[in-house]
C-alpha cells in the first residue's frame, strides 16, 4: 500500500513546465486524487504497525 501511494505521488507530480498529467487536468481530480493517496498511506501504515505488534 505504501508503495502504491509512493507511485501515485510520483505519477501525479507536474513536469518542469508546471503542467499536470493528463488525468489530473479535470476539476474533480484535484479533489479526489489526494484522498485516494492518503487512503493508501493510511492503510499501508496500519498494515506496517499491525505487523510490528502482531505475535
pLDDT digits (tens), the chain, 55 positions: 999 999 999 998 988 998 888 888 888 888 899 999 999 999 999 999 999 998 7
Give the per-residue pLDDT at 37: 96
The parent domain of residue 30 ranges over 2-53
The per-residue pLDDT for 30 is: 82
Give the predicted TM-score (pTM) of the model: 0.81
Q: What is the dihedral of CA 15, 8, 25, 30, to 10 degrees?
A: -120
Number of domains in the chain: 1
The DSSP line for 1-38 is -HHHHHHHHHHHS--TT-PPPGGG-STTHHHHHHHHHH
Taking alpha carbons only, the member of 43, 40, 20 closest to residue 30 is 20
* Mean pLDDT score of the chain: 91
CB-CB contact of 21 with 12 (8 Å): yes
Amino acid at each position: 500500500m505504501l508503495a502504491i501511494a509512493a507511485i501515485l505521488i510520483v505519477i501525479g507530480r507536474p513536469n518542469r513546465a508546471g503542467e499536470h498529467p493528463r488525468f489530473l487536468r479535470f476539476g474533480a481530480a484535484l479533489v479526489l486524487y489526494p484522498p485516494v493517496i492518503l487512503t493508501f498511506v493510511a492503510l499501508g501504515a496500519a498494515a506496517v504497525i499491525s505487523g510490528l505488534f502482531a505475535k
